[in-house]
Amino acid sequence: MSVLAPPEPIAVERIRRDLPGTATVLRVELAKLREQLAMRVLLAVCVLAPLGFATVMRIQGAVPADTLFGRWAKTTGFASPLTVLGFAGSWGFPLLAGIVAGDMFSSEDRYGTWKTLLTRSCSRGVVFAGKGLAACVCAIVGVCVLALSGLVSSVLLVDTDPLVGLSGQLVSPGRAVALVLSSWAYSLLPVLSFVALGLMLSVVTRSGIAGVLGPPVVALVMQLLTLLGPGEIVRAVLPTTPFDGWHGLFVEPVHARPVFQGAETSIVYTGVFLAVAWHVFSRRAIAGSEAVPHRRRQVQLRTAIGATAVVVLLAAGSGWGPTDITAKRLERTITPTFERLVVLQYRWRTDRDPGNATLHAITTCRRGGGSRPARGAGDDWTCVVKLVSPELTAKSMTLDLTVRPNGCYTAQAPPSIIGPLVLRDARGKAFVNPLFAFDGCFGTT
């Protein structure tokens, strides 16, 4: 057909019903993203970062012992993906969300292409949905690539030994794979809430910088807020809290409440952020340069004032509500964990099962040597564990604990009693002493 073919004459009869939908916009947006250097770099980082981490773990002597599962990074291939997941939850995922979503709308402002895009045959609703889905697809692909790259590379480079869980239990390789993948899959929900945050910032501020850096900055501020006060109310509603929900999967018995609560929180935030973004986008006037700067400054000012007010309010409320970090709860979680780890150490050291030997621990925890109320996060907790066993002389030891606001702790035991970091089994093979220092978690939500 000639380019200059005459148009069909009667307007009303020419009305089409086969207008492009969300899937078309999604395809177009993904095609645009594929052509962008930032997206290619991001994908490469998602593939290479976990691989690099696993490689470093294999060749260097030290392990990231201050991170959950980090001390097992050289022992089992299932630990590294979880360590990476822990890092990612702090700032990696918010940054990933910012990169894939934060410039999704503002790039059209930067290139001046709204008038090109919105004068085609797609409604604003379809454009909004397509762009939002494209950001979600990119985020999901990024998270999946990170997870698979982390799991495959560390399993290949390290080992497939069982994983020591957060209650001192041994997790079989098969179950470890399932739990690792479940943890990453669950993390998609909070990631998507940050994607929605990036989209909202992109729409409201029309600034790629605000959209990309906003989510990691928000995550950082949220983490600082959790350090301000011991109250549980504010912590429970922060969008970063769900990133810790997967810890409950590695506790025995599985603590599912944080997972569900984190999912709920993430879904609510996703909905709220998207609703605000749509509200602004659907009403936006695509005006010329003469109309934009004045209103844009107003919007940016209002956004900044609103964000500051929310942070101040959250900071003021950081002490509200009870704390779930109490001496009683610590004692309840440390006792069985310690008992299991003692058995595990015995088994690894002697290559024998303790059989019917009974072991009983009694734990008493306090904070600041008893001078402070025994509740809340801090690095001044101590727990005295008294081991009672018919086969052993009663032993008592003091554990130094660092308890984090998310309900996870690291316990350091005295080497004079539990032995050095590296022990050897009956055949002379070295292994990491599971009692030297150990991590555990108990739900705080």
Partner 1 sequence: MAAVAAIETDGLVKRFGETLAVDDLSMRVEQGAVRGLLGRNGAGKTTVFRILFGLLRPESGSVRLFGRDAKPDDVLVRDGIAGFVEEPRFYPYLSARRNLELLGQLDGDHRHDAGDLLELVGLGTHVGQKVGNFSTGMRQRLGLAASLLRRPRLLLLDEPTIGLDPASAATVRALIRQLADHGVTVFLSSHNMSEVDELCDTVVIVDRGRVVWDGTLERLRHEAPAPAYTLVTTDDGRAFELGRERARLDVTFADRGRRLTVRADDAARNDYVVALGRAGIAVQLLEPVAAPLEALFEQLTGGEPTSAER
Instruction: Enumerate binding residues for partner 1 (CB under 8 A).
Output: 1, 3-9, 11-12, 14-16, 18-20, 24-25, 27-28, 31-32, 35-37, 111-125, 285-288, 290-291, 294
User: Closest approach of Cβ 439 to partner 1, in Å?
Assistant: 45
- One-letter amino acid for residue 169 of the chain: Q
Cβ atoms within 10 Å of 216's Cβ, excluding its own: 22
Nearer to partner 1, 224 or 291 (CB): 291
Residue number, 28 or 218, with CB nearest to partner 1: 28
Report, in Å, the least distance between residue 162 CB and partner 1. Answer: 48
- Look up residue 159 and give its amino acid: D
User: Which tokens is 304 given?
Assistant: 């900044």
Joined tokens for residue 27: 């395809």
Nearer to partner 1, 36 or 308 (CB): 36
Token digits of residue 245: 């929900």
**Cβ distance 113 to 211 under 8 Å?**
no
Structural element, H or E, at residue 182: helix 173-205
Give the nearest distance from C-beta 140 to partner 1 in angstroms. Answer: 22
Q: E-strand spans in 6-132?
A: none
Cβ pair 190, 240 in contact under 8 A? yes
Closest CB 3 distance from partner 1, rounded Å: 5
**φ, ψ for residue 247 (rounded to 5)?**
-55, -35
Q: How far is CA 195 from CA 199, 235, 266, in A?
A: 6, 20, 11
Is the distance from CB of 344 to CB of 431 less than 8 angstroms? Answer: no
* Residue that has been written with the tokens 């739900």 in this structure: 443
Three-state secondary-structure class, residue 325? coil
Cβ 202 to partner 1 shortest distance, Å:
16
Sign of CA pseudo-dihedral 182, 253, 158, 243: positive
Tokens, residue 252: 């025995």
∠ Cα 39 40 41 (to 5°)? 90
Nearer to partner 1, 19 or 313 (CB): 19
Question: Based on CB atoms, which residue is closest to partner 1, 23 or 422?
Answer: 23
Q: How far is the CB of 96 from partner 1 (least distance, A)?
A: 21
Nearest-approach distance from CB 336 to partner 1, in angstroms: 57
Q: Which is nearer to partner 1, 121 or 182 (CB)?
A: 121
Name the residue nearer to partner 1 (CB basis): 14 or 427.
14
28 or 191: whose CB is closer to partner 1?
28
Q: What's the min distance (Å) between Cβ of 445 and partner 1?
A: 42
The sign of the torsion formed by the CA atoms of 208, 192, 48, 64 equals positive
Of the pair 295, 424, the CB lying nearest partner 1 is at 295
- Exposed e or buried b for every residue in 245-269, given b needs 16+ CB within 10 A? bbbbbbbeeebeebbebbbebbbeb
Q: How far apart are the first and last CA of the chain?
A: 65
Q: Could you tell me the smallest distance in angstroms from the CB atom of residue 297 to partner 1?
A: 12
Neighbours of 81 (CB within 10 A): 31
CB of 101 to partner 1, least distance (A): 18
Q: Which of 119, 356 has the CB closer to partner 1?
A: 119
